[in-house]
Amino acid sequence: MKILKGLITVLLLNATFTHAQYTSPIAGGVDVGVGLGSNSWAPSITYHEEIGSQKLPWLRLGVGLRAWGYYAGRTNLYTKRMAGIEDYLEYRNVSVNGVSFLAGVNISFWKLDFGVNTDLLGITYGTRRHGFYEKDTPATGTGGPNYNQWLASKPTLLNALPLALRKNTGQSEAFVRFKAGRKLGVKLGYTYGRVTYTTKKVDGFNVYLDNSQRHVSRVYGLPYAALAFAVGN
């Protein structure tokens, strides 16, 4: 009986040790920062959590939420190029706000985290804007009735994988985070984003540009800096 009890004790201790060895610690934080360009800026607040394994302590996978905005002056948003034609709407300014669910990966070294993240799903909203549809060719395409007019449009509402799918809006980042202290750090990086507008219906009918297109977009890039606050380990 003593041998049996001893064996059970050894097995329980081994199971506990094995579980502790492969437990994946979770760390989280909040980054508050802004991307800046000559004609645009993009503030954001990102909450993130990363999980790692003791077998690969330098590699961490993460998820998070990002509340963000993008504001720019004079901007051209373009349609998808089809049959050699790429139309655009010219805006005096654009503005988009969003909340996104993101995923990312970090590689840790010393006090540095090197990482990337990207929006997976998101909701965006913004003021309706009018874009000028400048077109000097004969009015033979589907957008003919709208040539050289100001067309009402608004940001897309529901979005997925914005950098891969051009009819969507959202952001991605490449960054390095320096842990200056246990709870405070500095994050530097580059924000990649896409902003997409859709022409609004008039009297219940779609408003088209040539090639029956209604979406116009552009990809932007901005250098980014933030304060990074740790909220748990």
Is residue 3 situated within a structural domain? no
Helices then strands, counting H and E runs in the chain, come out as 1, 13
Is residue 12 situated within a structural domain? no
Is residue 76 situated within a structural domain? yes
Is residue 19 situated within a structural domain? no
**What's the rounded Cα separation, in Å, for the pair 76 and 129?**
12
Q: How would you write the pLDDT of the chain (233 residues) with one tens digit per residue?
A: 443 344 334 333 343 333 334 445 668 899 999 999 999 999 999 999 999 887 888 899 999 999 999 999 999 999 999 978 899 999 999 999 999 999 999 999 889 999 999 999 999 999 999 999 999 888 788 999 999 999 999 999 999 999 899 999 999 999 999 998 888 999 999 999 999 999 999 999 999 999 999 999 999 999 999 999 998 65
Contact present, 162 and 201 (Cβ < 8 Å): no
Determine the pLDDT at residue 131. 98
- Residue ranges of E strands in 73-136: 75-78, 88-91, 94-109, 112-125, 129-133
Determine the pLDDT at residue 10. 36
Is residue 8 situated within a structural domain? no
CATH code of residue 56:
2.40.160
Residue linked to tokens 């509340």? 67
Q: Mention every residue, 6+ apart, whose C-beta is less than 8 A from residue 13.
A: none
The HSE-up count of residue 199 (CA atoms within 13 Å, CB side) is 29
Residue closest to 113 by CA, chosen among 20, 29, 223, 24: 29
**Element at 21 (helix H, strand E):** helix 2-22
Determine the pLDDT at residue 25. 66
Contact present, 86 and 133 (Cβ < 8 Å): no
In which domain, by residue range, is 196 found? Answer: 24-232
Instruction: Enter the tokens of residue 154.
Output: 């608004």
Determine the pLDDT at residue 37. 95
Is residue 7 situated within a structural domain? no
Q: Mention every residue, 6+ apart, whose C-beta is less than 8 A from residue 79.
A: 85, 86, 87, 88, 209, 210, 211, 213, 215, 216
Total number of domains in the chain:
1
**What's the rounded Cα separation, in Å, for the pair 17 and 24?**
14
Is residue 106 situated within a structural domain? yes
Residue closest to 26 by CA, chosen among 54, 45, 46: 54
pTM of the model: 0.85
Is residue 30 situated within a structural domain? yes
